[in-house]
Amino acid sequence: MTARAFIFAVILLAATSVTAWAQDSEEVIAGPVLRSTVTVESDVVRIGDMIDNAGTSAQIAIYRAPDLGTTGSLPTAQVIAALQAHQVIGVDTRDIKAVSVTRLSRAFEGKEIEAAVAHTLEHRNGLGDAANLGLTFDRDIADIRLEASSTGALQPISVRYEPRNGRFDISFEVSNDNNKPSAKLRFTGVAIETVETAVLTRNVERNDVLKSSDVITERRPKAEVGGDAATRTKAVGMQMRKQLRAGQAIKVADLGKPDLVQRDDNVTLIYEATGLYLTVRGKAMDNGTDGDVVNVLNLQSKRTVSGVVIGRGQVAISVATPRLPATADAETAAPVSVANSNNAPVSPKAE
């Protein structure tokens, strides 16, 4: 190898070594860099949460974390001052004006809590299905937030229900993944079983026929309505058997089939028999629905007859078919006595 080649090799090796040392030095002494957004699970914010490359200062707490599930903002100047107080200097702020800090959480919505309470009480001490339970809590049920590590289900650990007044007292437990104590949640209030029932939108009189606009569907306590609650579908088109006020729940016993014949209405009397079909005008003496027997005045004969309601304004009268006398059989007929002129009975002669 010539002297010139040897010198060139030495220079190239030295340049390569310097470059590699510079790269390694950058990795080792990389400076702290500020983060624009931070998420934490604990109740404190540490230096390692705020900056990259925090080194041995990473676990030092410098701020109290926001409330569970909320986000706060810290001006960059305030963050830098807090870091310098712990000898963290030379932080690259990347022209960030403020740092957003969010505390993660596990949320239970009010509807989720209400459903858990209902399912816990389902079929307990005579109660029905969870879907039919009306719950009133002693305190308004708002969304509840727990630590993000509380990943367990709402597990009931204590359940009390008093059928006489409907009061409940239920405690739940939610387990924690970080070996921390389980979260405890307690709810108290009143539970009643409800049923869907038809409710009147106006005052009604006896014999009123319900229209669609007269009836709505509401949930009412089962103790109020009983097991005789009428549904809206079954109520519309039916006739009231009693007077009720607007807002009252309708029971099946309050309803009947609508009258197809009204007292004093003109009706058509239908006489029908084998080979015979006659119609006559009449006047109803009674109210009646399909299948009812009513009295009708025949306006032609002025006689009152009974018939069966078969349609609106129609009453069927059955006419008995006359029976013809049976023809006597000469061979089986009883002997007939014939009187002679002396009024003495004479037996018929045998042929």
Indicate the domain borders of the chain: 33-103, 108-192, 195-256, 266-318
pLDDT tens digits, one per residue of 223-237:
888 888 999 999 999
Per-residue DSSP letter, 109: -
Q: Is the pLDDT of residue 348 over 70?
A: no
Helical H runs in the chain?
A: 3-28, 47-50, 76-84, 110-121, 222-225, 232-235
CA dist 274 → 268, 270, 277 (Å): 19, 13, 8
What pLDDT score was predicted for residue 115? Answer: 96
What pLDDT score was predicted for residue 227? Answer: 82
Q: Is the pLDDT of residue 279 over 70?
A: yes
What pLDDT score was predicted for residue 183? Answer: 94
pLDDT tens digits, one per residue of 83-130:
999 999 999 999 999 999 999 999 999 999 999 999 999 999 989 999
Q: Is the pLDDT of residue 6 over 80?
A: no
Domain topology for 195-256:
Type Iii Antifreeze Protein Isoform Hplc 12 (3.90.1210)
Amino acid at 330: A
What pLDDT score was predicted for residue 28? Answer: 54
CATH number of the domain located at residue range(s) 266-318 in this protein: 2.30.30.760
Lowest mean pLDDT among 115-119, 127-131, 242-246, 315-319: 315-319
* Residue 169 structure tokens: 């007292």
Q: Is the pLDDT of residue 291 over 60?
A: yes
Whether the CB-CB separation of 314 and 267 falls below 8 Å is answered with: yes
Whether 195-256 and 266-318 share one fold: the answer is no
Lowest mean pLDDT among 42-51, 127-136, 319-328: 319-328
